[in-house]
A and B are shown apart, each in its own frame.
Chain A
C-alpha cells in the first residue's frame, strides 16, 4: 500500500479534531493550550503534505512561519497564564468568566 495524500489529510483531521475536542471539553487552561498547539500542528501537517504532493515549496515556507509564530505565541500565552494564576489562584476556565455581561 502506498501512502497517499488521503492518509496525511486523515491524520491531520484527526489531530485537529482531537485538539478542538481538548479545547472545548477540558477545564484546565494549560491543557486547552496544549489542544491549541495540537490544532496548529495538524494544520502544519496538512500544509507539508500538500506541499509535497504538489511539488511546490510554498506550503513548507508557510509551516516555518507558523512554527515561529506559534513559539512566540506560546511564550506570551504561558506568561499570561502564569500571571493569571498568580492573580486569581486558579487555572480553570469556569472560574474565569469575567467577560460575561
Chain B
C-alpha cells in the first residue's frame, strides 16, 4: 500500500462506519458499536504505521480537483506533515480510548447505535479538519464538526436543557464561523489561493502580500477559532454543552473539537501578523483567567471541568498569540490526554452515583472507587502542572514563551491562572473523593466495570509521560527550530530554558493545592461564599454573561427579527405581492362590466372605435 493512501483510509473509515450504522446495523447494538470502534482503532493503528514509516520527516500532499469555478479552484486534498500527523495521532488515539469507554458508559441507552453513528461522524469530520490542505476543505469539515457536536450535545433531545444546549452551541459557533468564512474570502481575494502550502510560499516570498488587509484577515480567521475553541466572548456555549453524554464531553468538548481552533491557528500561523497576534494573546489570556475564576465556584462536576477546559484553551490561544504555536500544540496534546482522563473519571463517578453531578452530594469516594480516584488524581496533578507530569512541561513551555516575549502582563496572568487551576482541581478532588459521604447514593457507589476503568488507566499513563515522549521535538521541527532533546534533556528542559517560569509554575501549583487543602479538606459545605460574598456569587453565576447576552444580543436580535417579520408581512407579502394580485383583480372586475352581452353596445363601441381611428388617421 502506498504511503499516501493511508491518510485517505484513516479519514474515510469512520465515515463508512457512520453510514453503515445508520443504514444497516441500527438494530444490532453490538455490531454498531463494534463497527464504530473498529473504524477508529484501525485508524489509530494506521496513523501509527504512517508515523513509523514516515518518521515525521517529509510532508506528503495528495490532492484531487474538486470543483473549479472561474478563478476559484477548490481541491480536495490531504496534507501530511508533522503537525497533522501529531494531531492525527492525538485524535485517533484519544477517540479510540473514548469509543471503548462509551461502550461501557452508554450501555442500556435507547439510542446506543445512534450514539456510535454520531461519534463516528464526528471522528470523520475531525480528521477532515486535521488533514485538510486548503481553507475550503477545512471550513467544510469545520462545519461538519459543528453539526456532529450539535447532534451529540442534544443526544438526549427529549430533555429540554440538552436540546437547548445543542442549539446554543450551534448558533454561537455560527457567529464565529461567519467571521471565519469572511476571513477565508479575504485571503482568497488577496492571494488567489486557498492551499496552505501555496499560501505559506506566497507569504514567505512577500510578507506584505496581504497588504492593508493582513490584520483584518488574521482577526477574521481568529473569529473561527474564538467560536470553536470557545474563547471570550463566545465562550458561553461550552459549559452548556456538558448536557451531552460524558464521553462526548470528553472527546469533543475537551480533547479534540475545541482544540480544533488552536490547531487551525497553528496551521495558518504564517498568516497572523503582530497586531493580530497581540489581540489573540490577550483574548486567550482573558479567557483563561475568566474561566478559571468561574470554575472555582461551580458545583457541577462536569461544569468545573468545562470551565477548566475553557481556561486551558485560553492558555493555548495565548501561546499562539505569543509566537509560540509549538508550545500551544504541546499543551493541546497533553491537555487532550489529561482532560479526557478527567472527564472519563468524572463520567465513572457520575455513573456510579446514578447520574448525580453535584459535587456536594458526593464525598468519600476514595475508598469506594480506588481506580477512578487514582487516575483522577493523576489527571488533576497533570492539569495543575506538578513536576514530572505532562501538564507541567506544556504549561511551562507556554509560560516560558511569555517570558521570552517579555509579555510580563500575560506571564503574571498565566501564573495566576495556574494557581486558580490547581485550586479548583484540588477543591474538586477533596470534595468528591475526600471527606465523608454526603448522600446515600455516594455511600452505595462502587467501582466501574473494566470497560470503563481500562481507558482511564491508559489515559493516566499518557498523562504522566506525555511531556517527555518527544512531542515537543516534533513541534519544534515543524515550526522551524532544529533542537532535538533526548529523554533526559526533555525532563530538565524547563529548568534549563526558563527557570523562573518553571519554578513559578511549580509554586503556583503548590499555592493552589494548599489553598484547597486548608479550605476544603473535610468540608461539608463550601466555605468560600462566606469569605468572598459578592465575588463568590459573581463567580458562581458565571459573571452573568448569559444574562448579559440575554439582555443585549438576544433582545436586539429579537427586535431585529420582529422588524424583519413586520416588513415581510406588511411590505413584501402585503404591499408587493397582495398589491399586484389585488390591482389585477379589481381591474378585471371593472372590465368585466363592459361585457354587457348587448349587441347594440358592442356596435356602438365598435363604431366609436372606428370613428376614433379615422379621426387619428385623417388628422
A residues near B, CB below 8 A?
A: 20, 23-25, 32, 93-94, 96-101
Contacts and interface: CB of A to CB of B under 8 A. Distances in A.
A93 B607 contact: no
A24 B597 contact: no
A25 B599 CA distance: 11
Given A24-B604, A93-B600, A96-B599, 6 more contacts: A24-B600, A24-B607, A97-B598, A100-B596, A101-B595, A101-B597
Interface in B573-605: 592, 595-600, 603-604
A100 B595 contact: yes
| Across the A-B interface, the 3 shortest Cβ-Cβ residue pairs | A100-B597, A97-B597, A99-B597
B596 A23 contact: no
A97 B596 contact: yes
B598 A94 contact: yes
Contacts of A100: 595-598
Contacts of B596: 97, 100
Contacts of A96: 599
Contact of A98 (B597, B603, B607): B597
A23 B595 contact: no
A93 B595 contact: no
A28 B604 CA distance: 16
A62 B597 CA distance: 33
Contacts of A101: 592, 595, 597
Nearest to A25: B600
B607 A20 contact: yes
24 contacts: A20-B607, A23-B600, A23-B603, A24-B600, A24-B603, A24-B607, A25-B600, A32-B599, A32-B600, A93-B598, A93-B600, A94-B598, A96-B599, A97-B596, A97-B597, A98-B597, A99-B597, A100-B595, A100-B596, A100-B597, A100-B598, A101-B592, A101-B595, A101-B597
Interface of B: 592, 595-600, 603-604, 607
B445 to A, nearest CB: 86
A97 B598 CA distance: 5
A94 B596 CA distance: 10
Nearest to A100: B597
A93 B592 contact: no
B589 to A, nearest CB: 11
Nearest to A99: B597
Contacts of A25: 600
B601 to A, nearest CB: 9
A25 B607 CA distance: 13
Contacts of A23: 600, 603
A29 to B, nearest CB: 9
A82 to B, nearest CB: 17
Nearest to A98: B597
A67 B592 CA distance: 38
Contacts of A20: 607
Nearest to A97: B597
Nearest to A23: B603
B510 to A, nearest CB: 98
B404 to A, nearest CB: 91
B514 to A, nearest CB: 97
Contacts of B592: 101
A21 B603 CA distance: 10
B307 to A, nearest CB: 76
Nearest to B601: A24
B203 to A, nearest CB: 75
Contacts of B598: 93-94, 97, 100
Contacts of A94: 598
Nearest to A36: B603
A93 B607 CA distance: 18
A14 to B, nearest CB: 15
Nearest to A26: B600
Contacts of A99: 595, 597
Nearest to B604: A24
B619 to A, nearest CB: 18
Contacts of A97: 596-598
Nearest to B610: A20
A20 B592 CA distance: 26
Contacts of B599: 32, 93, 96
Contacts of B604: 24
B607 to A, nearest CB: 6
A89 B607 CA distance: 29
A23 B603 CA distance: 8
Contacts of B595: 99-101
A24 B598 CA distance: 10
A100 to B, nearest CB: 3
A25 B603 CA distance: 10
B613 to A, nearest CB: 15
Nearest to A96: B599
Contacts of A24: 600, 603-604, 607
Contacts of B597: 97-101
A99 B594 CA distance: 12
A20 B571 CA distance: 52
A40 to B, nearest CB: 15
Contacts of A93: 598-600
A32 B592 CA distance: 26
A99 B604 CA distance: 16
A32 B595 CA distance: 20
A32 B285 CA distance: 101
A101 B595 CA distance: 7
Contacts of B607: 20, 24
A80 to B, nearest CB: 13
A57 to B, nearest CB: 27
A36 B380 CA distance: 112
A76 B181 CA distance: 81
Nearest to A24: B604
A55 B107 CA distance: 115
A25 B592 CA distance: 23
Contacts of B603: 23-24
B597 to A, nearest CB: 3
Nearest to A29: B599
A32 B602 CA distance: 13
A22 B88 CA distance: 100
